[in-house]
């Protein structure tokens, strides 16, 4: 299906309207924006993205508490993490994300940052300098995140880190990648990572994005699954091939604005 030129022009115009610094304050991306060190941004950004479902005020409130529990220094906290430090998180809950999940996240992040300088490498195959596809990278990240849990003991924690292989939309993981990868001069996304291209990004598909996408004919698939993500992202790539993730601002922002 050919996207009408008036729809293309409108969505690009709206994307740039929402993609500006004023967007940050009321969005979960405000949490990683409170840090300046790359690894602090990665850690807080990843955890914030994972917790980004539900009311945005509640997300921001709980993620600020999460930062406080990590002494507002995520990298130092996870690199020096010891089992007793996990007790601080015993009362930290966000919807279905509970104490056991926090402990697993802390163990993974501690192990990772003791050996690696960036979380970006968790998405890239060993021996490679770039990402073949975001779909493969998300599946690879899931494998690495649960490498120390081969018997799937932490099955409840697995529900919080999605992978395309299971058919999931991977909304929160795609949002995290947008934060880390997209580069422009608007100051919302961080653009810190270079091994994944902006052109490879997939749209974080939630109910807000779905509403706008269907209205403008960018999504026909009924099921909200990975195939729907690919369909929507393909249309967005037609509009702006080098930066389809930009359209996330229009799709999400228009729905929120009209609620």
Cβ within 8 Å of residue 147, ≥6 positions away = none
Is residue 178 a contact partner of residue 162, using CB atoms and an 8 Å limit?
no
pTM above 0.85, yes or no: yes
Cβ within 8 Å of residue 184, ≥6 positions away = 19, 191, 243, 246
**What integer pLDDT is reported at residue 162 of this predicted model?**
95
**What integer pLDDT is reported at residue 150 of this predicted model?**
66
How far apart (Å, rounded) are the C-alpha atoms in residues 119 and 125? 13
Could you report the average pLDDT of every consecutive run of 10 residues in the chain (259 residues)? 92 98 97 98 98 93 98 98 96 95 96 97 93 96 88 80 97 98 97 97 97 97 97 98 98 90
- 3-state DSSP call for residue 242? coil
**What integer pLDDT is reported at residue 1 of this predicted model?**
73
> In the structure encoding, which two tokens stand for residue 33, read together?
């924006």
Q: How far is CA 22 from CA 25, 97, 128, in A?
A: 6, 29, 37
- CB neighbour class for 246 (10 Å; exposed up to 12, middle 13-18, buried from 19): buried
- Nearest CA to 135 out of 241, 237, 229 is that of 229
Is residue 180 a contact partner of residue 45, using CB atoms and an 8 Å limit?
yes
Strand partners, 94: 97
**What integer pLDDT is reported at residue 257 of this predicted model?**
86
């Amino acid at each position: 299906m050919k996207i009408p030129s008036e729809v293309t022009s409108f969505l690009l115009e709206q994307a740039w309207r929402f993609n500006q610094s004023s967007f940050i304050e009321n969005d979960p991306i405000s949490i990683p924006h409170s840090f300046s060190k790359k690894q602090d941004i990665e850690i807080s950004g990843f955890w914030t993205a994972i917790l980004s479902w539900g009311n945005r005020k509640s997300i921001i409130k709980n993620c600020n508490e999460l930062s406080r529990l990590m002494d507002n220094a995520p990298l130092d906290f996870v690199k020096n993490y010891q089992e007793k430090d996990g007790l601080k998180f015993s009362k930290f809950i966000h919807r279905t994300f509970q104490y056991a999940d926090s402990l697993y996240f802390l163990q993974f992040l501690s192990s990772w940052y003791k050996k690696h300088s960036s979380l970006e490498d968790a998405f890239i195959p060993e021996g490679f300098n770039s990402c073949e596809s975001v779909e493969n990278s998300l599946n690879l990240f899931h494998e690495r995140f649960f490498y120390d849990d081969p018997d799937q003991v932490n099955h409840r924690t697995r529900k919080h880190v999605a992978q395309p292989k299971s058919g999931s939309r991977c909304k929160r993981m795609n949002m995290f990648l947008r934060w880390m990868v997209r580069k422009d001069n608007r100051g919302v996304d961080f653009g810190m990572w270079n091994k994944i291209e902006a052109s490879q990004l997939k749209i974080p598909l939630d109910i807000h994005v779905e509403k706008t996408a269907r209205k403008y004919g960018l999504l026909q698939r009924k099921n909200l699954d990975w195939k729907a993500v690919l369909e929507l992202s393909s249309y967005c790539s037609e509009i702006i091939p080098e930066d389809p993730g930009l359209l996330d601002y229009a799709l999400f922002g228009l729905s929120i604005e009209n609620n």
